[in-house]
Amino acid sequence: MDPAGRGDGAGAVFSGGYGQQDPEPPAPNRNRKRNWLVPLLVLAGLGAAGAWIASHWGVEETDNAQLQGRLTEISSRVPGTIVRVFVDDNDEVKAGQPLILLDDRDAGVRLYRARADLEQVGREAEAMGTKAGATLSTARAAQGVAIAEQQSASSELARTWADAQRLVGLAQQGGVSRYEAERAVAAWRKAQADFTHSQASAQSVQARIQDVGVDRSKAQAAAAKVAQAQAALAEAQLQLSYTRITAPAPGRIGARRAEPGRQVQPGQPLMTLVDTQPWVEANFKETQLTALRLGQAAEVRLDAFPDRVFKGRITGLAPASGARFTLLPPDNATGNFTKVVQRITARIALDPQQTKGLRLVPGLSANVRVRR
């Protein structure tokens, strides 16, 4: 073997045993992954940006919103002692359902007394009316008799006057005796007295008719007393009904403070009735006011039900900002003016079909979205 050959072999061995290997070419799979991964990420970013723009374009949103409901303080209208409480906290009640019963014995006594007073004045009024009617009938009958007697006396007076004149003339001529003439004059004088008596009787009957008017006035006064007694009876019945406190509307009971044996006064809170049909009050910024209108559809998300989207509609917009309704409205003319974005409250009615069966209580936080 020539030296050149050995040298080539030795160089090959040396190179293979102790030299560095040539770098391997890049794998084609890695290049392919890089080629489609970058466009995919770009498309995903564009898609996410498009979805965000589509969901927020033309949408006004606020998280300053709460679920609200009517809270009615249940109290007594009359003083009394609680005998029984029919409900407890968290109980659902219907309109007209009994809640509290007060001791009704005092009210029952007043009702019994009012009924007795009504019966008494009713009998008195009936007696006065009967008396006035009987007096009027008697007076009218007496008036008819007096008129007839007066007419008869007037006729008799005219007749006896004519007889007296005729007989006195004849007696002066000797045609009749003086005795007959004197008898005629006496008859005329008696007729005159009877006529005066009939006039007095007519005046007496007229006075009796006036007395009938007085009796009729007394009967009317007695009827007025009957009306007063009826009003007193109605008031006593009303006071008795107040001893049974019922629910004015359907709802749930909360903050019960009524206990049997407790003495209560009118207006004293005994429990709270929470309405079962809540609504949402969303406070939008004043810059969002132009996007709000009555009847506008809204989407409501409650923190208590994060997986639900409730449909609703705007049913009212506040006539002033929330700052105007505070106890001490801010005065921007004091010199320490700091511009603060005001809030306008929108009332949103929820779909009752979606809220049916859910325990929605006032005070829950909400997020509201509306589209322009």
pLDDT by 10s per residue, the chain, length 372: 344 444 444 444 434 444 445 555 555 555 555 566 666 666 666 666 665 555 555 688 899 999 998 899 999 999 999 999 999 998 999 999 999 999 999 999 999 999 999 999 888 888 877 777 766 666 666 666 767 777 777 777 787 777 777 777 777 777 777 777 777 778 778 877 777 877 777 666 666 666 666 667 777 888 888 899 999 999 999 999 999 999 999 999 999 999 999 999 999 999 999 988 889 999 998 888 888 889 999 999 999 898 889 999 999 988 887 777 777 777 666 666 677 788 889 999 998 888 888 888 888 999 999 987
**What tokens appear for 302 in the block?**
């409650």
Per-residue confidence (pLDDT) for residue 97, from 0 to 100:
94
Question: Which three-class secondary structure string do you get for the chain?
Answer: CCHHHHHHHHHHHHHHHHCCCCCCCCCHHHHHHHHHHHHHHHHHHHHHHHHHHHHHCCEEEEEEEEEECCEEEEECCCCEEEEEECCCCCCEECCCCEEEEECCHHHHHHHHHHHHHHHHHHHHHHHHHHHHHHHHHHHHHHHHHHHHHHHHHHHHHHHHHHHHHHHHHHHHHCCCCHHHHHHHHHHHHHHHHHHHHHHHHHHHHHHHHHHHHHHHHHHHHHHHHHHHHHHHHHHHHHHHHCCEEECCCCEEEECCCCCCCCEECCCCEEEEEEECCCEEEEEEEHHHHHHCCCCCEEEEEECCEEEEEEEEEEEEECCCCHHHHCCCCCCCCCCCCCCCCCEEEEEEEECHHHHCCCCCCCCCEEEEEEEC
Distance (Å, whole) CA 118 – CA 199? 45
CA angle (226, 228, 230) in 5-degree steps: 70
Specify the amino acid at residue 76.
Answer: S
* Closest by CA position to 259, among listed 251, 268, 250, 249: 268
Dihedral in degrees, nearest 10, Cα atoms 51, 53, 59, 63: 80
| Cβ atoms of residues 341 and 286 within 8 Å | yes
Structural domains of the chain, with CATH: 60-70+276-332+339-371 (2.40.30.170), 72-103+244-272 (2.40.50.100), 105-241 (1.10.287.620)
Per-residue confidence (pLDDT) for residue 355, from 0 to 100:
84
Per-residue confidence (pLDDT) for residue 291, from 0 to 100:
86
Give this prediction's pTM.
0.60
Cα 3 from chain centroid (whole Å): 124
